[in-house]
Structure 1
Amino acid sequence: MKFSLYIAKRYAFSKSKSKAINVITAIASVGIVVSAMAMFIVLSVFSGLKQYSLSFVDDLDPDLKVFTPKGKSFVVKDRQILDLEESGYFKGVAKVVEDRLLFTFKDKQAVSTIKGVDSDFTNVNDFDEKVEYGNWLEPDTDEAVVGVGMSYLLSMGLFDTENVFEAVALKPGKGTIENPEEAFIKKHLWPTGVYVLGNDDLDNKYVFVDIDNARELLNIPSNEVTNLEFALADGVSEGKAIQKINEVLGDQYIVKNKTQLNDGLYRMLNMENLVVYLIFVLVVIMALFTLVGAMIMIILEKQPNIKTLNQIGVPVRDLRKIFLFQGLIICLVGSVIGLVLGAIVVSLQIAFGFISIREGLAYPVEFSWVNILLVFASIAVLGLLASLISSSRVNASYLKL
């Protein structure tokens, strides 16, 4: 093997007598470098976009969320909340009531999700830090915090005493409605804050109010919630926290983490990454076709030398390994050069943000060693296959020519 590797290195780093072979080999090598560089950069871009997209849902969703599988709300006792808070597993335990409602301001209307929260909500989620204009709502008041998208949609300002911001819900009951005005529950709210996440859908999604106001609008009893939200304490595993929740509340409830709450988004992002990766695998395969052609031409050119080596006792297996190693050397060196160039480009984008989505927001990229290993391993495996194909040209019939 040492002999085959030595000869392979000589062939890989020396020029051929034929200019055509040198040109084709150079094209194949550049193709590997460019494909490795492009694959790493694009995977880094999609990793950055994935983290950028998930950063929005991370802002919205708690570490754990509890639902009931039956109906919209469930009873939770103060003793149960106290047991969970005193367990040491959680930094915060928030009671939440939420549902879709109609909101009106002046002559404009919009549908959004009302989210009634208690005073412990800010210990579960740092949403109060996302309020760019005004202030976070005070407990036991009619104050409301809306998204910047909702504010624009309704042309609504803060602390407006002349116009009414109103939440409208259907009143439960049976029978015929004689007076349309009696068919609705209406609640005047006082907008005191506007949150900004930078995503149009999420900036329209929620209207935060005190939990009692949400219960009144949704006709939910004072001892019931639609879900519980938890922030894990430092060092506490998710499994132990879920086990504690089941012990206190019972195992009849559904407990989801952030990934499970956004499983559709995660699946979509992972599928996008997979499709992009497969596309660039095809690009690498096309570059390796050129390498196979160059290697076969080199094998034909080196035929007199190969015959001489065979006549002095070098077996065909070792002769074949010479070109196998040569192809691998070209692939691995090309992939390393391409990854270094790609890493430089990605690092410069992270440091200086040359390419921007909009003013003040650099195009997100993520430098990941996983992507480096993935690109290197992909080119190594495909390069091995290409080298095996080209080196198989060295056989008994080849030596008889």
Structure 2
Amino acid sequence: MQLLFAWRYFKSKKTTNVINIISWISMIAIAVGTASLIIILSVFNGFEGLVKSLYGDFYADLRVEPVKGKLIKFDSFQIHQLNNIGNIADYSLMLEEKAVLKNGDYQNIVFLKGVDDHYANVVNIKHHIVEGSYLLGSTDAPDIILGYGIQNALQSSFKSPVPLTIYMPNAEAENFSDVQSAMVSFEMGQTGAFRVQEEFDNKYAFTNIGFVKYMLNISDSEYSALEIKVKNAAQLDKTQGDLQRLFGNRYAVKTRFQQNTGLFTIMQMEKWIIYAILSIILLIAAFNMIGALTMLVLEKKKDIAILKALGADKRLIQNIFLKEGILLGVVGGVIGMLLALTICLLQQKFHFVKLGGTSFLIDYYPIVLSVGDFILVGATVLFVAVLASWIPAKKASEQDFSLKS
């Protein structure tokens, strides 16, 4: 019965036109706020998914690295035990070191990753080769694949017959103040270039691990890290625990999230901060609702008096106007959700809102709709509607109106 009264007050034409205007304004404000929240959260979901996919192509599911120092040492027993962990699809051993790469008068500092033949099975780097091929050469005849930014800085090309010269630290050097004796060099050909995102493109280059071991004079059992691809992502935590027990406390076993904790934490913080800021729009709409409901209480004072004469208590009167405010919020929220859904689906299909600049992998705002976002925004709208309705509903239940007034 309370909802019936609320629905009747909601759809009926008020004697004072300003009440209708304020009610419509409050509903429109709630609809705009709801749509804005869902659209912005969906854009954040899109960018988050894009970044995670890029990092997923560059970072392995799990990485084993030393807690202290630069190198880890794997013995044959550990490798044998590694093969017995059922959720491991493949793994790759690697060696990383800073190097100086020169092409004539151009030079650039790079992070050189020496990887084995399994690396392309562990991460999807082949998918991001934009020029040339994924060829790493051999220990005696090494080839190198450059990040796209490094290639531009060196003015190099995989088609160039002129080899690149790489300089790496000389492990046997006694006098590091002498640059020539502190570095060893080698000429190698470029076979390709990859493009993932600017952070990686300007930093990394790949070659085969045998060449890096030879240049750094490192034993066959020493590596910088072990990267692992799992079969079932749902069992990632269990596999991480199995690996930690296998390798012990000297080594850290990190998931992709833990390898990039700062980035993913900042992304989540940005999303929630934007959510909090845009929720202010709904709070502004709440003030309109308070005004509309307060004026509605004054208009329906005779109805309130009749209901009280018929035996209605304060709780019933309060609930009628409370549900009236909830109806305003729900109708505005549903309109906003439908509007947001329409805009998001159109953006997904036609990409009509473009990104500025030309350095992005995509030229439009990515959209990923989430049921969780709709539930969150719906709950926020409902909370704001109840909060805004409480004051005028409480006032309506406590005031005494006379039929003669």
Q: TM-score, normalised by structure 2?
A: 0.93
Once the two structures are superposed, the pairs formed by residues 2-401 of structure 1 within 5 Å of their partners are 3-138=1-136, 140=138, 141-162=141-162, 164-172=163-171, 176=175, 179-197=178-196, 199-234=197-232, 237-357=235-355, 361-399=363-401
> Does the 8 A contact of 1:119 with 1:139 survive in 2?
no
Paired amino acid for 2:170: K
Query: Shift of residue 267 of structure 1?
Result: 0.8
Query: Shift of residue 215 of structure 1?
Result: 2.2
> In 1, Cα distance between the equivalents of 2:177 and 2:291?
84
Query: Shift of residue 17 of structure 1?
Result: 0.7
> In 2, Cα distance between the equivalents of 1:340 and 1:354?
19
Q: What per-residue deviation string (whole Å, max 9, x for no partner) do you get for residues 142-191 of structure 1?
A: 011111111111100114223x3122223246754575311212122211
Query: Shift of residue 88 of structure 1?
Result: 3.1
Query: Shift of residue 343 of structure 1?
Result: 0.5
> In 1, Cα distance between the equivalents of 2:34 and 2:335?
8
The 1:389/1:348 distance shift into structure 2, 3 A limit, reads same
> In 2, Cα distance between the equivalents of 1:395 and 1:87?
67
> In 1, Cα distance between the equivalents of 2:55 and 2:320?
53
Paired amino acid for 1:147: G
Query: Shift of residue 252 of structure 1?
Result: 2.8
> In 1, Cα distance between the equivalents of 2:127 and 2:303?
73
> Does the 8 A contact of 2:144 with 2:205 survive in 1?
yes
Paired amino acid for 2:192: G
The 1:395/1:180 distance shift into structure 2, 3 A limit, reads closer
Secondary structure of the structure 1 residue equivalent to 2:250: coil
The 1:183/1:9 distance shift into structure 2, 3 A limit, reads same
Paired amino acid for 2:386: L
Secondary structure of the structure 2 residue equivalent to 1:314: coil
> Does the 8 A contact of 1:85 with 1:93 survive in 2?
no
Overall identity of the aligned pairs, in %:
27
The 1:271/1:119 distance shift into structure 2, 3 A limit, reads same
Query: Shift of residue 398 of structure 1?
Result: 4.1
Q: What per-residue deviation string (whole Å, max 9, x for no partner) do you get for residues 361-390 of structure 1?
A: 321111111111111010001111111122
> Does the 8 A contact of 1:97 with 1:214 survive in 2?
yes
Q: What per-residue deviation string (whole Å, max 9, x for no partner) do you get for residues 325-362 of structure 1?
A: 00001101110111011001001111111122267632
- Unmatched segments (≥5 aa) in structure 2: none
> In 2, Cα distance between the equivalents of 1:117 and 1:24?
67
- Unmatched segments (≥5 aa) in structure 1: none
Paired amino acid for 2:391: I
Q: What per-residue deviation string (whole Å, max 9, x for no partner) do you get for residues 255-285 of structure 1?
A: 0001111110111100100110001111110
Farther-moved stretch of structure 1 (320-329 vs 206-215): 206-215
Query: Shift of residue 247 of structure 1?
Result: 4.4
Secondary structure of the structure 2 residue equivalent to 1:22: helix
Query: Shift of residue 249 of structure 1?
Result: 2.8
> In 2, Cα distance between the equivalents of 1:135 and 1:392?
73
Paired amino acid for 1:275: I
Paired amino acid for 1:184: M
> In 2, Cα distance between the equivalents of 1:391 and 1:23?
20
Paired amino acid for 1:227: A
Query: Shift of residue 250 of structure 1?
Result: 3.0
> In 1, Cα distance between the equivalents of 2:137 and 2:370?
43
CA RMSD of aligned residues (A): 2.0
Paired amino acid for 1:27: I
Paired amino acid for 1:190: G
> Does the 8 A contact of 1:103 with 1:111 survive in 2?
yes
Paired amino acid for 2:252: I
> In 2, Cα distance between the equivalents of 1:166 and 1:261?
31
Secondary structure of the structure 1 residue equivalent to 2:86: coil
